[in-house]
Structure 1
Amino acid sequence: MRYFTIQPPEELKPYVRFYWVLEHDSGIDEPSYVYRSVADGCAEMVFHYRATFNELTNTKAENAGTSSIQFQTTQYRRFITTESFSIFGAYIYPFAIPYLFNIPSSHTSNLTFDFDTFLGKAGVELEEQIMLAADNFKRAEILSSFFISRLRQNVLKDQRITTAIHDVIHQQCYRTVSQLADIYNLSTRQFDRKFKEYAGFSPKTYMRLVRFHDALNQYKGDKTLTQIALQCGYYDQSHFIHDVKEFTGYHPSFYFSGNAEGTEYRNL
């Protein structure tokens, strides 16, 4: 398995966290590969340029298509393929959705669309260009041009809220909602409404997602689960266990064991 990231151009860094590539060659001893996506406060545009996956639900496996955009989500999903595969993706801040697509993030939470449904002809053309690109650096260039073009077409949004969401993601300071509202000179009610419009979830739910991902980033460390929970702002072990189980489907002892679905790339 091979995983690496590509940085976006400077103009896009406020909106796109990074591009990523995941490649895997199946072998005789591994007839199928199951990937589990976990809850995430950011959105992803995903292009399967070699092989496709089926999504595993409670009743059946459904073709997930060659490309899609999955918005910020509190849910986990499972996918399976029996072929060698290659995927190119873009990891996008949730507040970029109003800038790029002129739609509030609150209207897209927990949704997934193929590009034809979401973007029409422009989405079909983008998917074709990505699929036919010579390599992943060319794919990053194509998608960057697409994003920049859309940014220049849309009007400026609320910078205070985008800054607030960015700070929540990166500063790892687990303030209360009222404290955050005070920092950005808004009432708690105004802040909650605007935050949800640009992040897709209420500040309380979004801070849970950020705290959860901070914990996942401790995956390669040698810390105990208790140390991870305390370092990431959980008040006690039960809250930590609850969030990891809700957002991954696994007890943290198994998720952090290195044997859980969808965690292989973290070992690379």
Structure 2
Amino acid sequence: MSKSGTIRTGIGGWTFDPWNESFYPAKLPRTRQLQHAASKLRAIEVNGTYYGSQKPATFAKWASEVPDGFVFSLKASRYCTNRKVLSEGGASAEKFLTQGITELGDRLGPILWQFMATKQFDPEDFEGFLKLLPKEQDGLPLRHVVEPRHDSFRTPEFIELIRKYGVAATVADHEDYPMFPDATADFVYARLQRGSDDISTCYPPEDIDLWAKRLKTYAEGGMPDDLTLVAPDQTAPNRPRDVFAFFITGGKVNAPEGAMTLQQKI
């Protein structure tokens, strides 16, 4: 067994006009932007799948344009998560999972299920939702991560519940949304959202170093000692974990540089 899991850093999407100046080479065709981004980064979180379905051929094309070891994290459809009763979203979840995502093959990373900031924790309903998330699709193993954005989820009961199903919760570095540093699955998923367009590396150098240390600790099976766990009395297995970290939202202009700098530190 290796002593550490694989750490991948990345960004949200690959189409953003300011990146034509700050990230992509001059005159690079848009049709080659994904190839360039994948040559510099190790993962991309796809937001478009939250708003609408894609064709199987589209996923196959994405997979063909990135190197071995690169992965796409897909944000699940809003129709699965933006509902009053989550456990009644089975048809929407099935539609999302059967649209052709398995055409990505081993380029498929975690699936992110993001909830509205007004959605509160209902243990019974949320467990019903977790039961809708299959461990595989068309023979391809699936990894699931949830992103609650209401403080009611910061309870040991929530951590115990998602650990029961092998689901991760986002380590969200955000001004308003709660962070869930507890390791509850065989991977950790961080969304770094406090960057600034005024900082060339998105995050300040000292914060890049801090996150590099945290991610390496997670990958080696430990827990960062400077993050407050939601359920400190629950013990997470000490084993290597894959780690995903995305520079999202804040400081988006320089998010690619932040991801590349963090990857170099690791």
TM-score by length of structure 2 reads 0.31
Higher relative contact order (CA closer than 8 Å, sequence separation 6+): 2
